Amino acid sequence: EGTFAQFEYRQIIDLLDNPANREPFIRFLIAEAKTNAPELKALQYQLDATERSLKQNGALRLLPNVSLVGQYINVFDRSGTGSTAPEGLNLPDNYYNAGISLSLPIFNGNRTSINYQRAQIQREQLNLRQSETELALDANVRNSVLAISTQITNIELSLLSEEAAEEALELTFNRYEEGAV
């Protein structure tokens, strides 16, 4: 009693029945699935982080560490045994110290090279996972379109079955009225 009237699947039938329209429609659905897939976005963020790690452990690993140290010393009081300087030597009460340190992390237990190689391997793994995820999305969209086509065909067959059952009922009713059944 009008079960199929509430579904608007005729537009999809037009897209899926015509082979010229089907493949562009499927490609559009795949592109939308890839655009909106959270797992692909997460993989892209991980790839970006890996690229930053590669830059950090790559050419930037020879970036020197520079330290600047400054100190001001003020003596407020000198008293007690041994606090006075020998004759002729004058100890200053206020003085400054300054220092600079420059170091290159060339030999740090090969840790930088290991981190760089680890980041390269991780990037390759993430690229493979991204490709696998894209292929899985492609397969899921194609399977869904195939399932939709199957369901639409089943609905059409159900409509035909309904019409055939109505005709059979009408024929049987007519035969019953005529006394043949």
Lowest average pLDDT, out of 40-44, 69-73, 110-114, 148-152, goes to 110-114
pTM: 0.60
- Residue 2 backbone class (left: φ over 0; alpha: ψ -120 to 50; beta: rest): left
> What is the crossing angle of helices 38-57 and 111-177, to 10°?
170
For the chain, report the end-to-end CA distance as a whole number of angstroms.
27
Convert the pLDDT of each residue in 127-180 to its tens digit.
Answer: 999 999 999 999 999 999 889 888 888 888 988 998 999 999 999 988 888 886
* Displacement of CA 149 from its chain's centroid (Å): 31
Alpha helices in the chain (DSSP H): 10-17, 19-36, 38-57, 111-177
Angle, helices 10-17 vs 19-36, to 10°: value is 110
Per-residue pLDDT tens over the stretch 40-50 = 999 999 999 99
